[in-house]
A and B are shown apart, each in its own frame.
Chain A
């Protein structure tokens, strides 16, 4: 019962370094998301992928890139890390009901990746 798996759980970077956060889900969900959580700011959407082959910007996309590698995997890349990107990152997935378009759009979240940029 893995659900959504994120790696790594913790990472410390120096300013300017790059890294990729990996996310995989085993629920056959169509949609995947990357959020960041900062104190007092709630959950803010970075990027999302409504379906395999598509990606869209969210509320705070600057400084990030994403890749929807296949239906299971959605990675988040920081090309040149900055201290402002110190945060906890959450990957999530959901199954959009294309028949009704309404109701269930429940996200299943991973456990989070805590990133510190010095």
Chain B
């Protein structure tokens, strides 16, 4: 039973346009959400996060939006650059002490020049 779902395995966007990556979750007890970015042959790296008490967090070109009622979050990248081409993982944390993150299956973003 997948608790964190990224329903789009891949996404192609033209350089300069907006990229929107989506993530849905099923467990209302998740209290913290993160996005990781992964290049080939490298480990994932932390990109941006958001607490469940907020609905938006912005860091430069990256913005994460959280809609708790819909159990949905999205990552916006504006403007998209070729260097943003990577696999993006959505992750969530269940507040029950020190519990591990639950990851989605990832979305491969290709930014076309």
Where the two chains meet, the residues of A that have a C-beta atom closer than 8 Å to any C-beta of B are: 4, 30-31, 33, 35, 40-45, 48, 50-51, 58, 90, 92, 96, 101-103, 105-112
How many angstroms from the CA of A107 to the CA of B38 in the assembled complex? 13
- Give the shortest distance, in Å, between B44 (CB) and chain A (any CB): 5
Q: Decide yes or no whether B101 CB sits under 8 A from chain A.
A: yes
Contacts of B60 in A (CB 8 A): none
Verify B105–A105 contact, CB threshold 8 A.
Answer: no
How many angstroms from the CA of A92 to the CA of B101 in the assembled complex? 11
Chain B residues within 8 Å of chain A by Cβ, number: 25
Contact of A106 among B46, B100, B104, B106 (CB under 8 A): B46
Q: Is the interface of B mostly helix, strand, loop or mixed?
A: loop
Q: Which of B32, B36, B95, B100 has the most CB of A within 10 A?
A: B100
Q: Decide yes or no whether B34 CB sits under 8 A from chain A.
A: yes
Q: Given A42-B89, A42-B104, does the pair A4, B43 have CB atoms closer than 8 Å?
A: yes
Q: Decide yes or no whether B97 CB sits under 8 A from chain A.
A: yes
Verify A101–B44 contact, CB threshold 8 A.
Answer: no
Contact of B42 among A105, A106, A111 (CB under 8 A): A111
